[in-house]
Amino acid sequence: MNDSNSTERLVHVPLGERAYDILIGPGMIGRAGGEISTRIRARKAAIVTDENVGALYLEELMDSLEADGIEAVSLSLPAGEKTKSFEHLMKVCDVLLEARIERNDAVIALGGGVIGDLTGFAAGIVRRGVRFVQMPTSLLSQVDSSVGGKTGINARQGKNLVGIFNQPDLVLADTGVLNSLSAREFRAGYAEVAKYGLIDQPDFFAWLEGNWQEIFSGGAARIEAIAASCQAKADVVVADERENGRRALLNLGHTFGHALEVATQYDSRRLVHGEGVAIGMVLAHQFSARLNLASPDDAARVEAHLKAVGLPTSINDIEGDRPTPDILMDAIAQDKKVKGGKLTFILTRGIGQSFVADDVPSSEVLRFLTEKLEA
């Protein structure tokens, strides 16, 4: 890991004509007007946020845009996963059209992954595409959903099933806003940070095991961890932008995690996305051990680290009634990685040795989940 004490980092995503920069550091909201006017030359903007984030940061962002001569309108939506819906997508599109946002204007997503996914989808379909700026305000969105161009909404049948690939034109990750997150929200985002080490960077995972407390306390390790995570995701996205191969590795833990989110009906009181991913990554390592692909010691190490930072690591850690194996299997069958009706999982041969496993027998998955739910 880079031991630099710099308070700002830049990660470049080289996608040809769609290349963009990710600026990481404190104070990005106050600098937004200058960065947007200089980098993408927008003179008009529409900000989409949620009611919680907007109450904290919308005024500062509006002032920054105004100071640099950018005329802006805003829309605040309810906070929570249920906002990723057709209803709210239409509301965002209506606001953009009513404001006469044109292709060279900027649509700004100020919020976490829900706002980023929803706003990016709207920005990609209004007038067949307008300029899009991600301003992620949660750790999870700063290291994952704001980078890579996946946008969309949820459907009754599952999570993120309706959407498009729409790369942002700029990402401004203000690390200062992370201090306003609850401990639970920060932990949930950390699950995605740990994921990058578990995919293919065992040294990064080992570094996280030794430095997670400084990451949580807001020391220099926090910016370093975010930058390393963004760089890891950018590298994968550049190699496989449309998820035809290697990019699927970014879904480590997500097949199980998404199924748990569906089973809990996206009730954030019971489970939030990062918590589902944490449980899912443990299950993926345990399932890999069950198939004799990896050592049980690796699964135990993953579980121990995620438990140490305060994340749930078992289905039994979720409050309320446990889902049935059949409910989970139905959700898994709707997963976007299913091809030709065959189950695809991200499994592992050890820490940092993840791989795409095609045609995983559904009978093995059902037996594994049944045992976990009965334990």
273 is catalytic: yes
In angstroms, the CA 314 to CA 171 distance is: 34
Distances in Å between the alpha carbon of 35 and those of 74, 81, 178? Answer: 19, 29, 20
- Span 157-189, pLDDT tens digits: 888 999 999 999 999 999 999 999 999 999 999
Q: What is the pTM of this model?
A: 0.91
pLDDT of 131 above 90: yes
Structural domain boundaries in the chain:
9-180, 185-374
The arrangement of strands across the sheet holding 170-174 comes to 9-13, 20-25, 170-174, 131-136, 106-111, 44-50, 71-77
- Span 218-257, pLDDT tens digits: 988 999 999 999 999 999 999 999 887 888 899 999 999 9
Q: Which of 47, 53, 65 is nearest to 123 (CA)?
A: 47
Residue 11's φ and ψ, nearest 5 degrees, are -120, 125
Residue type, position 63, single letter:
D
The topology under which CATH files domain 185-374 is Dehydroquinate synthase-like, alpha domain (1.20.1090)
* β-sheet bridge partners, residue 71: 44
Q: Which of 121, 126, 172 is nearest to 150 (CA)?
A: 121
Q: Which of 44, 187, 233, 372 is catalytic?
A: 233
| pLDDT score of 244 | 79
| pLDDT score of 17 | 93
Q: Which residue has the tokens 């995972």?
A: 205
Q: Which of 192, 224, 261, 275 is catalytic?
A: 192
233 is catalytic: yes
150 is catalytic: yes
In angstroms, the CA 57 to CA 98 distance is: 24
Which CATH class, in words, describes the domain spanning 9-180?
alpha beta
Distances in Å between the alpha carbon of 89 and those of 48, 86, 118? Answer: 11, 5, 6
254 is catalytic: yes
